[in-house]
Amino acid sequence: MWQNLFQYEFLQNAYLSGILVGFIAPLLGVFIVSKRLALIPDALSHVSLSGVAIATFLISIGILPAAFNPMLLGIVFSVIGAIVLWQLTRQFHNVQEIGIAIVMSLSLGISVIFIALAKGVNLDLTSYLFGSINTISRQDLWIVAILALSTIIFVRLQYRKLFAIVFDEDFIRVRNLRINLVNGTFFVFVGLVVAVSMKIVGVLLISALMTLPVAIAIRLAKSFKQTIVYAVISGEIGVITGLISSYYLNLPSGGTIVVTLVLLLLGVFVWTKMKKIKQKRLTD
């Protein structure tokens, strides 16, 4: 496989994109889980799919050229959806799940309609639903690389405000501190990451890439910064192992990545349980 990695461009695109997404998805996922908004990636993945479906329909009727990358419209829709969700979570502060459910249901309905209308265009729906390393182009890789760099810079510069938003947003509002721009920008970055992750893990599994590494990190970390580090490491292990497994087993990359992360979570859970039992015996 390593010889093929240097020989075939699609493998280079897949692994480099996977490594980048495996870093930034858990990075943002830590803040999402801490804000108790774990359903946001699910909703945005459906929004992104609706953009892909509409792009495919526009290609079928000749408005967009056949060479157009549907993921680009998926990114636009995901950003718009992120802004809408941000506003809805502000309006329904105590029942945020309502806004998320509304966006998710509407997007899924739009996707089904336009996929049915897009006759004559070969849309590999399986690759978008479950991920496929064979469909990642060099253009996709450049999009992921630019997004990864932008995400890391944003989190680095706005870390203190993001931390405050997660743990004491009400206090910030009472003090009239300007956090709306930071909060809104954060949602936009989540939307972008969800959209570009679509071909790697698939629409149905994007949420897992943002939440499972965080669940693993929570079991191990003793501080918020440690949680971020462990989440990123777990994400990279899951993505790289999953991509290698999908290559050899000829399976969808998204499924193998998620299964790898679940197995890693179970392993960490067993290890921490055994560690607690051993410590208890020593103290007794």
Per-residue pLDDT at 94? 60
For 190-209, write each residue's pLDDT tens digit. Answer: 999 998 888 778 777 888 88
Query: What was the pLDDT predicted at 261?
Result: 93
CA 145 to mean position of chain CA atoms: 15
CB 238 within 8 A of CB 209: yes
18/136 Cα distance (integer angstroms): 10
Residues 128/49, Cβ–Cβ less than 8 Å: yes
Q: Which CATH architecture has domain 2-211?
A: Orthogonal Bundle (1.10)
pLDDT tens, position by position, 90-128: 776 665 677 788 888 888 899 888 888 877 666 666 677
pTM of the model: 0.86
Residue 104, token pair as written in the block: 């998710």
Listed by start position, the domains of the chain span 2-211
Burial 242-263 (b: 16+ CB within 10 A, else e): bbbbbbeeeebbbbbbbbbbee
Task: Compute CA 74 distance to the chain's CA centroid, rounded to the nearest angstrom.
Answer: 14
Q: Which two tokens stand for residue 240?
A: 């790289």
pLDDT of residue 170: 64
Q: Which amino acid would we find at residue 281?
A: R
CA distance 202 to 51: 14
- Mark the ranges of the chain whose per-residue pLDDT is less than 70: 1-7, 92-96, 120-126, 133, 169-178, 284
Q: What's the pLDDT at 150?
A: 95
User: So what's the pLDDT on residue 173?
Assistant: 61
Q: Which of 38, 70, 76 is nearest to 54 (CA)?
A: 70
